Amino acid sequence: MNVTLRQLRVFEMVARHLSFTRAAEELFLTQPAVSMQIKQFEDAAGLALFERLGRKIYLTEAGEEMYRLSKDIIAKMSEADLILDEIKGSEGGRLLVSVASTVQYFAIRLLAGFCKQYPKVNVNLKVTNHKGLIQLLENNETDIVLMGKPPEGLDLMSEPLLENPLVVIAPPNHHLKDKKGILLAELKNETFLMREQGSGTRTSTERFFAENGMKISANMELNNNGAIKLGVEEGLGLGVVSQHTIDSEVKTGRLVILDVQFFPLVRTWYMVRREGKRLSAVGTAFENFVRREKFRFVRLP
Ligand code: PGA
């Protein structure tokens, strides 16, 4: 049935008042314009929707059915308008943010600050490693990503956000804990707990040791940052992690940072999104919030 929304609205108004005159007044139309819309609606339906008995009009059986449906359709259209307005305004709407696992501690504080200003925003946060984030971006499954430097050659827009210093962590009873300027060679017999393949932290750590001619023994692989910290605390080995992730463990004395030559290795976090991706108002508000407020949420030991 080829009925326009305008015809539906005019029909609903005439059916509500059972009067062409009242409907015309409410819709600021002339009476012939209303009659024309109803005639076109009836032609499209192939049935009469009103019948006239004397000076009064009544709904036919088909008219009753259409009146019931038209109220539902008009209510749904208003709901759609409301939802679209919410998405357009930064007051509400949905925000898809994905972050590297090293960024999650900072990102959660950042989101808490953002949600205080925009309490109606519905946030979906994904935490994964560097490789996983590239996939989310490629599949267009996220709006904004906070991560280590993304590879060249993808259609991405990225802006540097904060320095991400990588440090060597050890349990508090480690024999090198008070030594200044530990040489890399002194670590050659240490076991390192390594992140999984696909982690940006792992790639940079491996590259650094290889460039310095050191083969580190990485016979234990743990696929998230929290597990690395716990493993180091329990004395399973040393770890290389972002300094942004160990604030509370260092302050409470559960982990120490070793003073190793060339460390910290300074990487950078970036705010990244797909080139040409149109951000919603809430996405833009979040980007601006991150640029403006990022330093407020940094906690380094
Ligand atoms: P990751 O984080 O080690 O969790 O992958 C850092 C990055 O994105 O490079």
Query: Is the preceding peptide bond at 160 cis, omega within 30 degrees of 0?
Result: no
Distance CA 216, CA 209 (A): 7
Decide whether any atom of ligand 1 lies within 6 Å of the 200 Cβ.
yes
Predicted confidence (pLDDT) at residue 90 exceeds the cutoff of 70 = no
- DSSP H or E run through 193: strand 191-194
Question: How far apart are alpha carbons 280 and 171 in whole angstroms?
Answer: 45
- The radius of gyration of the chain from alpha carbons, rounded to an integer in Å, stands at 31
- 139 pLDDT tier (thresholds 50, 70, 90): confident
Q: How far is the CA of 208 from the centre of ligand 1 (A)?
A: 15
**CB distance 130 to ligand 1 below 6 Å:** yes
Instruction: Check residue 269 and give left, alpha or beta (phi > 0: left; psi -120 to 50: alpha).
Output: beta
For position 89, what pLDDT does the model report? Answer: 66
For residues 167-177, one letter each, b for 16 or more C-beta atoms within 10 angstroms of the residue's C-beta and e for the rest, the string is: bbbbbeebebe
- If you measure from the C-alpha of residue 119 to the centroid of ligand 1, how many angstroms do you get, rounded to a whole number? 29
- Mean pLDDT, residues 128-148: 92
User: Is it the case that residue 281 has pLDDT exceeding 90?
Assistant: no
First to last CA, the chain: 68
Position 3 pLDDT exceeds 90? no
- Report pLDDT for 246: 96
Neighbour count for residue 133 (Cβ, 10 Å): 26
Mean pLDDT for the stretch of residues 114-130:
91
Which two structure tokens, joined as six digits, stand for 119?
Answer: 């309490």
Give percent of the chain above pLDDT 90.
Answer: 74
65, pLDDT greater than 90: yes
Pocket test for ligand 1, best of 97, 99, 103 (most atoms within 8 A of CB): 103
